[in-house]
Amino acid sequence: MDRKAPNDTAATPAKKITMKHIAEYLNIDRTTVSKAMASTPGVSDKTVRMVRQAAEELGYRKDIIASSLMTGKNALLGIVLADMWRGIYAPFVDSFQKSAYKNGYGVILQYVDKRTIGVRQAIEVLKQQRISGVTFISGATSEEDNPALIELAESGVAVNTTVRDLLHDRIDTIHFDNRNAGYEAAMHLIELGHRNIVFMGENRVNLTMSQRFQGYKQAVEENGLPSQLVETHENVWPKGMDVQTAYRLAKQLWTGQPKPDAIIGGNDNIALGVLFALKEEGVHVPQQVSLLGFDDLYAILAVPQLTSMRMPIMESGTTAVELLMERLNNPAKQAEAIKLAYEKIVRDSTAAAVK
Amino acid sequence: MDRKAPNDTAATPAKKITMKHIAEYLNIDRTTVSKAMASTPGVSDKTVRMVRQAAEELGYRKDIIASSLMTGKNALLGIVLADMWRGIYAPFVDSFQKSAYKNGYGVILQYVDKRTIGVRQAIEVLKQQRISGVTFISGATSEEDNPALIELAESGVAVNTTVRDLLHDRIDTIHFDNRNAGYEAAMHLIELGHRNIVFMGENRVNLTMSQRFQGYKQAVEENGLPSQLVETHENVWPKGMDVQTAYRLAKQLWTGQPKPDAIIGGNDNIALGVLFALKEEGVHVPQQVSLLGFDDLYAILAVPQLTSMRMPIMESGTTAVELLMERLNNPAKQAEAIKLAYEKIVRDSTAAAVK
DNA sequence: CTGTTAGCGCATTCAG
DNA sequence: CTGAATGCGCTAACAG
């Protein structure tokens, strides 16, 4: 019962094939097998071929755990995040996972939360699995966690962050080019002939949005146009709050004079709120007013679908993996701060201004 | 340099503390330490206390990898999913991860995709990490993967699925009670005095939605009211498509007679599309028409915010972990099919019918 | 280029 | 109740 006939073709490979088995099978040493499988220099091509083929035949799969015990590394990348509710993390995780897989790595998720699990504990958990690299998503860490990140990086684990300043010469970071996105958004409307463009958003607490506003401001001023900021005066979390606020402010805006011929919502939520207000006022989008959002998270949920500056979240997941791979290959390389560009997605909410 | 003073308070614990160290520290055997830490019966309470305390003092952390090599198990749970883009997976993953952490388990993510990585490969990857349990999200697997799942379950890994039929007496499964949700949604409107309630959704391809419709149908019929289905006639993917379609159909609906006094959108997207149409028609929600959606994914992005039947996704992640834990404790237990209830979230889009 | 020896850190026999 | 021996499967030094 513990001996299976070799020609047992039942769907039960059950018995685990180890290097030992393939060594015995070929009458060579198990360490030679190890070297052959690992492409260690100093093994004849012939042996390598023999071993590889035997491995194939016997259905050998390397035991990652045992390997990991020796090498101290595991082909696993970690993602540390605070919350997946905000929506924008899902595509990040998705693309990160896909890229990692292509590179032969698995992905392990670790959530942090002020009340229950701190960054240090999260790192502890990941280190126990011998992860090779970790990415810390914006919001998961704050200034006070810097020492922990640095310590981790210096212990030989590849590390990067998103939307944080560079904090160490071995920790790469990824940014989103919000300022330029704001600039391009405004230029799009200006080129369509709009002269009176309003930016609506929260400009004090939210750095992302204030950068978008700065870009907008530069564009209109360069073109001799007035800049107007309508502040939502609220923290944008929880999501949805800003829809209602934007709605209220847009209604209000329509009681005054002059009325804008184009509106930029600092994110899609805000644009959505404005859209509802305009519908109620009987204002047609884009015939009378052009409307534009940011992030492209909810843009296609609108009627008409919104022109939006798409946040390169998918790209950021891929980039995060690439940075980790580069650093694993060259641990001493100088830290990079990569700035990802937004993509302008033109849909039906923006059109040429009427004369 | 390899001997640190015990009162070394520098932030570098660096040197790894193993059971060997704590054994030497206490002048006992390493295997005794092992037993003490594992609460194996047959060790004196005194020794256990001694060991535990020494472990604490020295900052000992058990090496999961080494442990795993011996036991064949790792405190890791896997999630197999097809895509995170649809939005509904994010809260699942989020709550799954949190629950897993509370139970002392980590989470490893594994994506599958027809073109690049099949279910069998995904399972292979996870088994290599010696995961203790796996959950397969709806959409990640199909009938043809059943043998692989069964094999996995029989190999001693805890397994469950979501929105799939029971396929083995050791594989639990989680469902959403769509039919009852449809029933309650309709009852909510009926109790508000609405008599002419339309259900809008895709009823052929999408099983989820047709179950919701069935529930709605039962409720109106029980109350002697007419049931009316407006079919979107389209596959609901890609998301957003249904918003536009629903918008078109609602506009159309408003050209005919009689006009409904309440509309149920088979999901929030559809309700959103209807809302845009009603705004354009100058119809006030909820004063003239009550509107209700499903899923509660985008309900708060509307003005007014939508009453919606919230899909218990967060609960499903937690439930998935609980099922895995139960099965790990009792591998032979009969498979369960759990049906999770929706929660009715009443907001501003539904109100009493005008007489 | 191959085989020998040794050990990663832990857990599970079995004697004492 | 404790200690001594043994091995999980692999890799890394060295010697042959």
Query: Helices (H) and strands (E) in chain A — how many of each?
Result: 12, 12
Cβ within 8 Å, pair A61-B128:
yes
Q: Can you point out the beta strands (E) in B63-141?
A: 76-81, 106-111, 133-136
Q: Which of A63, A84, A305 sits opposite B94 (nearest CB)?
A: A84
A171-A176-A180 Cα angle (round to 5): 135
For a pLDDT cut of 90, what percent of chain A falls above it? Answer: 75
Nearest to B169 by CA among B150, B147, B148: B150
Size of interface A-B (CB pairs under 8 A): 140
Which nucleotide lies closest to A17 by the C1' atom and the CA atom?
A: D9
Which strands form B343-345's sheet, in the order they lie side by side? B228-231, B197-201, B262-265, B290-295, B307-310, B343-345
Name residues whose C-beta falls within 8 Å of residue B284's C-beta, 6 or more positions apart in sequence. Answer: B278
Q: Which of B74, B91, B107 sits opposite A85 (nearest CB)?
A: B91
CA–CA separation, A264 vs A239, rounded Å?
Answer: 18
Please give the protein residue whose CA is closest to the C1' of the nucleotide C8. A70
CA B278 vs CA A82, A195, A284: distances in Å: 38, 31, 14
CA–CA separation, A106 vs A96, rounded Å?
Answer: 10
Cis peptide preceding A304, ω within 30 of 0: yes
Cβ within 8 Å, pair A65-B61:
no
pLDDT for res B234: 62
Residue B131 has pLDDT above 80, yes or no: yes
Chain centre to alpha carbon of residue A200: 25
Tokens at B212, concatenated: 């919701």
**Are B214 and B354 within 8 A, CB to CB?**
no
CA–CA separation, A201 vs A250, rounded Å?
Answer: 12
Contact between the CB of B35 and strand D at under 7 Å: yes
Chain centre to alpha carbon of residue B313: 4
A170-179, B23-32, B271-280: lowest mean pLDDT where? B23-32
A142-A147-A150 Cα angle (round to 5): 105
Residue B24 has pLDDT above 50, yes or no: yes
B/e letters for B159-168, b = 16+ CB within 10 Å, e = fewer, are: bbbbbbeebb
Residue B240 has pLDDT above 60, yes or no: no
B120 φ/ψ sector (left φ>0, alpha ψ -120 to 50, else beta): alpha
Tokens at B188, concatenated: 């909510």
B69-A52-B110 Cα angle (round to 5): 50
Residue A203 has pLDDT above 60, yes or no: yes
Query: Average pLDDT of B302-314?
Result: 96
Query: pLDDT tens, A256-311?
Result: 889 999 999 999 999 999 999 999 999 999 999 999 999 998 999 999 999 999 99
Cβ within 8 Å, pair B65-A61:
no
Q: What is the DSSP letter of A237?
A: P
Which nucleotide lies closest to A42 by the C1' atom and the CA atom?
A: C1
Contact between the CB of B26 and strand D at under 7 Å: no
**Are B227 and B216 within 8 A, CB to CB?**
yes
Nearest to B259 by CA among B280, B283, B242: B283
Chain B contacts of A121, Cβ < 8 Å? none
Residue A86 confidence class, pLDDT cut points 50, 70, 90 = low
CA–CA separation, B18 vs A204, rounded Å?
Answer: 50
The residue with tokens 């099949």 is B118
CA–CA separation, B321 vs B339, rounded Å?
Answer: 15
Query: pLDDT tens, A109-156?
Result: 999 988 889 999 999 999 999 999 999 998 899 999 999 999 999 999
CA–CA separation, A207 vs A186, rounded Å?
Answer: 18
Å from the A68 CA to the D12 C1': 13
Maximum mean pLDDT: which of A30-44, A77-91, B218-232? B218-232
CA–CA separation, A288 vs B54, rounded Å?
Answer: 75
Query: pLDDT tens, A8-67?
Result: 333 344 568 999 999 989 999 889 999 899 888 778 888 999 899 999 999 999 999 999
What pTM does this model have? 0.90
Please give the protein residue whose CA is closest to the C1' of the nucleotide D2. B32
